[in-house]
Amino acid sequence: MYFEQFYLGCLAHASYMLGSEGEAVVVDPQRDVDLYLKAAEENGLTIRHIFETHLHADFVSGHKELAARTGAQIYFGAQAGAKFPHVAVHDGFELRFGKARIKVLETPGHTLESICLLVTDDEKPLEPWAALTGDTLFIGDVGRPDLSRTLTPQQLAGMLYDSLHDKLLKLPDEVLVYPAHGAGSLCGRNMRAERSSTIGTERLTNYALQIQSREEFIRQMTSNLPARPEYFLQDAEINRGGAPALSDLPELKAISPVELKTMLEEGVIALDIRPGEQFAAGHVPGSVNIPLSGQFASWAGTILGLSSRPVLIADAPEQLTEARLRLARVGIEVERGYLEGGVAGWKRAGLDLATLREISVQELQQQLAKNRVRALDVRREAEWMAGHIDEAAWWPLDRFRISPPEVDLNIPLAVHCQSGYRSMIACSLLQRAGFQNVINVRGGFGAWQEAKLPVATGAPVEA
């Protein structure tokens, strides 16, 4: 049997293709589906079946486009309420393709419609051979239970406990575990970096599976959850209806510097995707910097929202193409266009550039000792609790969409995260909100620790 995992690092998303006797199944496809068509062609397979383990909330799935391009049948858990032709599957549903079989387990908890897929290969002695666990069981973690509009996190957490203990943990220890996400995804809290595991390994090492009491499991799974981005529920609805094909998006339009200046005055968002150090050296005033490296699309969805329709600022056409694709994967459609000539074109038009001051952690310590700056930590709460700068205030980046921190706009504000990626985003948002003296801390808290500067612990002090 052919089996391949496709891992999309920027979204920490894993999708799969299985094939036997020329017939292929795709599970949890990403929005851009050409990679599955290419893999199928290279391996002499025809894609006939598409399974979704649930309505994904952190990305837009390509199931509808893939089905349109291949004629494949789509399968969803019966509770999904999908609004396009599909097979609604229940516990025990089986699909045979070639010499392999997929059996469905209904495993509500992460979402009501969640399913896991047990894979059997006639040529392998173990039955089942693997479990594709979606967002029910991760490597080192389980799915978050707060993605329903109708059920409470407590209700879903109880269902999740039952799904894990009554179904998945009754599988043999040797069964391989292949989840839909890895470390870095906001669909869980403590995922490990490995991309596969076994039921036996998870039984012994997964903290959530060590909790024996259903009541204690519910308590722990619903406490201290990472903030849920607003776009999660919107993406789930997009996936319920099926996203349009990427080929339907219009070509990007070049926008002149003068046009963009007017648009910015009207409240349009300009998204600068260049590296942070380039943004700091010179940028369009009021633009937001989310570097194309890192979890670009996730932060764009969290900070800007799906309806933001930003104008892109980049140095090269390939950056624009990549940014547009990655934004589309989370449901942000770039329709307005891009700044013609980039920042250089803005400068040639005689328009002023803004800059952003940066300092080292050693400079930050000196400035704090003299009470010349205020430090702002924009990491998540768990990161703060593990260690922070004693004098720092806390306002996590994912709250910036709600409001900037309530501090004096004129006091020098030194912003840091763990490494510098999130702090640069935060600095650009603060400048856009009118903060006059914003400073980025190079290297963030990681550099502070490497310099062996004092570290405090304890509950966060909000800005």
CATH code (residue 375): 3.40.250.10
* Residue-level pLDDT at 174: 97
What domain count does the chain have?
3
192: pLDDT strictly greater than 80:
yes
Is the same domain home to 49 and 121? yes
225: pLDDT strictly greater than 90:
no
Is the same domain home to 236 and 383? no
* Residue-level pLDDT at 100: 97
- Give the mean model confidence (pLDDT) for residues 317-346: 95
**Of 241, 271, 303, at which residue does a domain stop?**
241
Is the same domain home to 30 and 156? yes
| Helix 214-221 and helix 153-166, axial crossing angle in degrees, nearest 10 | 130
Q: Which residue has the higher pLDDT, 435 or 404?
A: 435
300: pLDDT strictly greater than 80:
yes
* Residue-level pLDDT at 408: 79
Tokens of 137: 């069981």
The verdict on residue 400 lying in a domain is yes
The verdict on residue 456 lying in a domain is no
Is the same domain home to 221 and 259? no
**CA–CA distances in Å: residue 264 to residues 217, 255, 279:** 48, 12, 17
* Residue-level pLDDT at 222: 95
- Give the mean model confidence (pLDDT) for residues 50-55: 98
The verdict on residue 460 lying in a domain is no
Q: Which amino acid, 393? A: A
- Give CA angle at 43 (35, 118), nearest 5°: 80
DSSP 309-364: -PEEE-SSHHHHHHHHHHHHHHT----SEEETTHHHHHHHTTPPPB--EEE-HHHH
- Give CA angle at 296 (293, 301), nearest 5°: 175
45: pLDDT strictly greater than 80:
yes
The verdict on residue 86 lying in a domain is yes
pLDDT tens figures, 17-26: 999 999 999 9
Is the same domain home to 133 and 75? yes
In the block, which residue shows the tokens 């979402």? 111
Is the same domain home to 75 and 221? yes
Contacts with 51 (C-beta within 8 Å, 6 or more apart), sequence order: 25, 26, 27, 28, 74, 75, 102, 115, 117, 132
Is the same domain home to 171 and 289? no
- Give the mean model confidence (pLDDT) for residues 256-267: 97
The verdict on residue 458 lying in a domain is no
Can you tell me the distance from the alpha carbon of 75 to that of 301, in angstroms, rounded to the nearest whole number?
27
Task: Give me the half-sphere count of Cα atoms (radius 13 Å) on the Cβ side of residue 10.
Answer: 21
Domain ranges, residue 271: 249-348
Task: Give me the half-sphere count of Cα atoms (radius 13 Å) on the Cβ side of residue 24.
Answer: 24
Tokens of 27: 């599970």
Region for residue 149 given its phi and psi (left: phi exceeds 0; alpha: psi -120 to 50; beta: otherwise): alpha
Partners of 374 in the β-ladder: 413
**CA–CA distances in Å: residue 70 to residues 170, 239, 323:** 36, 18, 27
Is the same domain home to 206 and 307? no
Is the same domain home to 278 and 212? no
The verdict on residue 457 lying in a domain is no
342: pLDDT strictly greater than 80:
yes
- Give the mean model confidence (pLDDT) for residues 135-150: 95
* Residue-level pLDDT at 382: 85
- Dihedral angle computed from the Cα positions of residues 430, 432, 437 and 443, in that order, rounded to the nearest 10 degrees: 50
CATH code at position 186: 3.60.15.10
462: pLDDT strictly greater than 80:
no
The verdict on residue 461 lying in a domain is no
* Residue-level pLDDT at 402: 80
Is the same domain home to 295 and 211? no
Can you tell me the distance from the alpha carbon of 145 to that of 156, in angstroms, rounded to the nearest whole number?
5
Reported as a pLDDT band with limits 50, 70 and 90, residue 411 is: confident
Q: What average pLDDT is seen over the chain?
A: 95
- Give the mean model confidence (pLDDT) for residues 425-437: 94
Is the same domain home to 194 and 340? no
- Give the mean model confidence (pLDDT) for residues 258-280: 97
Helices (H), 111-241: 153-166, 199-205, 214-221, 231-241
Q: How many CB atoms lie within 10 A of CB 98?
A: 18
**Of 348, 366, 396, at which residue does a domain stop?**
348
**Of 241, 273, 307, at which residue does a domain stop?**
241
The verdict on residue 459 lying in a domain is no
Is the same domain home to 257 and 188? no
